[in-house]
Amino acid sequence: MVELIQFPWSPFCIVQRRILEYSGVSFKITNIPSSDRSMVWRLTRERYYGVPVIRDGRNIVFETDNNSQVIGKYLDDRFRLGLFPHELEGLQYLIWRNIEDEIEDLTFRLNDIYWKEMVPAKEQVAFLRHKERKFGRGCIDQWHSQQKAFIAELTHRLLPYDQMLMDKPFLLGEQPRFVDFDLYGMLGNFLYSGHYRLPACHARLKKWYQRIENIKFEKSSREKLRS
């Protein structure tokens, strides 16, 4: 059985978790403390300390750099999901770069404002230390003071994605591709705390989000891909 090693609010973990749910296969989730990556370090033979990580029998799958999609491509190939068609390679690369830079840059900050509600008390000191070492002392308080501006900017940055859905159900056509799940993960992180809603002005995006949240891969599609 495939095992997803994660912590629940990570946008990149949400991406892979939703892909696994979409695939319809049985899988196991192992949550680790955000402040303790020793399990990941051990499984990857001291090559990686981030999440998510996939354990599939003897295969340990993790990203190789900030712009790789090793895990998504592994799951796509493993379960024949059609998320990375050859004809969309370059386009998807450009889109996921934007999603993971321009969108995630705001969504994680907006979610982290409510960090005390999601990080267990015993892990909070380590969590705060990690954030402040990376982004500067008092960073979360600063983000809180900029909350309204961040939401306005996120609404602006999401406009092209709403426009992409004018005449199709998914970002690139009639079926979901990797970029749909990637954007879903960033927005899932934004919504994780329960303090936010998707911008009301992006009605198409709101419907798309529900579509991605509920869609299941059709087994007949998998058989066609194998033939």
pLDDT tens, position by position, 78-107: 999 999 999 999 999 999 999 999 999 999
Q: For the chain, how many structural domains are there in total?
A: 2
Q: Are residues 166 and 210 in the same domain?
A: yes
DSSP 84: S
Q: Are residues 51 and 133 in the same domain?
A: no
Q: Are residues 111 and 198 in the same domain?
A: yes
Exposed / middle / buried, residue 74 (Cβ in 10 Å: 0-12, 13-18, 19+) = middle
pTM: predicted TM-score of the whole model, two decimal places: 0.95
| Nearest CA among 109, 112, 82 for reference residue 179 | 82
Q: Are residues 145 and 37 in the same domain?
A: no
Instruction: Confirm whether 177 is domain-assigned.
Output: yes
Q: What are phi and psi of 143, to 5 degrees?
A: -60, -40
Instruction: Confirm whether 227 is domain-assigned.
Output: no
User: Do the beta carbons of residue 76 and residue 178 sit within 8 Å?
Assistant: yes
User: Residue 150 corresponds to which tokens in the numbers above?
Assistant: 């961040």
pLDDT digits (tens, 9 = 90+) for 25-48: 999 999 999 889 999 999 999 999
CATH of the domain at 74: 3.40.30.10
Instruction: Confirm whether 222 is domain-assigned.
Output: no
Q: Are residues 115 and 74 in the same domain?
A: no
Q: Are residues 66 and 134 in the same domain?
A: no
If you average pLDDT over every residue of the chain, what do you get?
95
Domain of 167, in residue numbers: 86-214
Number of H helices, E strands in the chain: 12, 4
Q: Are residues 100 and 159 in the same domain?
A: yes
> Whole-angstrom Cα distance, residue 80 to residue 50?
26
Q: Are residues 110 and 71 in the same domain?
A: no
> Whole-angstrom Cα distance, residue 131 to residue 140?
8
